[in-house]
Structure 1
């Protein structure tokens, strides 16, 4: 198996992606009304800055989402029928003109995507609990001007049209891409509490234009790509940032395309690619070890044997749909300027 990973930057040539060529889109855009993103939106549209300076904050907020909508429209164009898009977005709290308020970014995106013709699927609430002593805002112990803490983000999920249909070759790849029963039970819950946020600080060595990366964790990308795509699918991220979606796609044997307007991230992304074989080995070992613990606990608690067995991984499994699960490890990485190609070999398991 071989996958290709294309990195497109603002100054890249041939950045046009073909209509209906993408199987899954995973991204996290700049969050409107989060202060660290103000300059990004100002550069995209001078009128946003003008309205902000005039203290017309609600209009500036609308204009920020108008800029994001241009990307969502392109996502709709490139996504295949039956394809899924997952958007990690947080709402924003901000004090403007001495007035504290909430800006509901997830509502704006849902509204626009539905108007595009996308079908909303149940979202995931990603719970990011903070232990900071100053997390409570407002008037301390006194009613009524205290505020509820905002400690979650959304993973909005949309589908283009009806459920995806699979040809004969895709059916085989789909079965090999299946997840374990215990993974399904955890992943397909509407509240995720087990994934911690990423360290936002960027090492000054990389000389990027930002001090903070605002990236979602690699584990988040791995889980979502596994949930909504199969081996050799093509995954697209229109807000690539530090390359998390690209790295996760390579680890999971998917092709990928990533687009980023900030070219200062190029060296950081390439540095992460250098570690991709190690990341893949760790990911496979973690899944194997986790499944092994599940088997041991299940047998201990239920006192009965498993009905099904996966020959590829040499392990008992809960259901017949898990019998063909296959893991692939990266054997070689070929790197060009804005392209890298991963070649894979079958994972050789130890006996569980």
Structure 2
């Protein structure tokens, strides 16, 4: 106590780990889980470069060579029961994950050595299925390196102040969340190769965004694009500038109304977007055309 107040000046000293580096080597860290992947990277064929394709993502990705994509940024359907065009969003959880992981298997194959996969996901809390944990375990089991987790704070105050479950009772309270998750994985190496001149993130952006809680308002144009679950351009822009270089190839296998491909185009990346809905593919192409001023 000092001046009637508790002083915690010794806290950091007490919790400091002695011989940290030796203990890190003993634990092995991600090396205990990471697998070796082919290191030879390939070019994305011209017929798939800067394209929006309608079809089954798993089947279309099988046509791509290994190691030809720099970064995947995607938000798959959450199995919430939303009204997507061309997709039924209610399935048994086992069937949902089986289908999802078939696509993610192909994403792992086509991502370059040192490339990244960024998955935006929110669990369906009413079903008590920790989707973000299940997806993370899938990628770790496949040998990718878990780079980290970003909290996308949506500041949904209706959610924040609504009470659900057993009101004023510990019988069965229902927890509410105002955020979603971005799970980030690396293939083969934590470091991604790229030219310094193709780095387009500023010092201030870097300092702000490595703080892995991003406060970004939800997309407000979903009615305009007739899509029930779009993420905002700001979210994709941060992910691309923090984890990729200008000129990199960006893939979204669940492209929806085309936010990922639009932002990739705006910020000097090449892109490939795939979706099963003809309507959404047309919307994605139209958004890019409008950005070009045509």
TM range (shorter): 0.7 to 0.9
Q: Is the 8 A contact 2:72 2:111 kept in 1?
A: yes
Is 2:182 the partner of 1:155? yes
The residue number in structure 2 matching 1:201 is: 222
Distance in 1 of aligned mates of 2:172 and 2:150: 29
Q: Is the 8 A contact 1:200 1:214 kept in 2?
A: no
Q: Is the 8 A contact 1:91 1:105 kept in 2?
A: yes
Distance in 2 of aligned mates of 1:62 and 1:11: 19
- Structure 1 vs Structure 2 CA RMSD: 2.6
The residue number in structure 2 matching 1:302 is: none
Q: Which secondary structure does the structure 1 equivalent of 2:50 belong to?
A: strand
Distance in 2 of aligned mates of 1:67 and 1:263: 20
| Structure with greater strand percent | 1
Q: Note the residue ranges of structure 1 that are not aligned, 5 or more in a row.
A: 49-59, 95-100, 279-332, 334-352
Select which of 97, 100, 104 maps to 1:72. 104
The residue number in structure 2 matching 1:35 is: 81
Distance in 1 of aligned mates of 2:236 and 2:268: 13
- The two structures have a TM-score, normalised by structure 1, of 0.63
Deviation of residue 192 (structure 1)? Answer: 1.2
Q: Deviations over 1:247-300 (max 9, x none)?
A: 11111101000100111113322331233147xxxxxxxxxxxxxxxxxxxxxx
Q: Note the residue ranges of structure 2 that are not aligned, 5 or more in a row.
A: 1-48
1:1-352 matches, within 5 Å, as 4-10=49-55, 16-32=63-79, 34-36=80-82, 40-41=87-88, 48=91, 60-94=92-126, 101-132=127-158, 135-164=162-191, 166=193, 170-171=194-195, 174-193=196-215, 195-199=216-220, 201-203=222-224, 211-277=226-292
Distance in 1 of aligned mates of 2:60 and 2:231: 28
How many residue pairs were aligned?
242
Go from structure 1 to structure 2 and tell me whether the alpha carbon gap of 1:90 and 1:11 turns closer, same or farther (over 3 Å shift): closer
Q: Deviations over 1:137-171 (max 9, x none)?
A: 123334443322122111000000113453xxx42
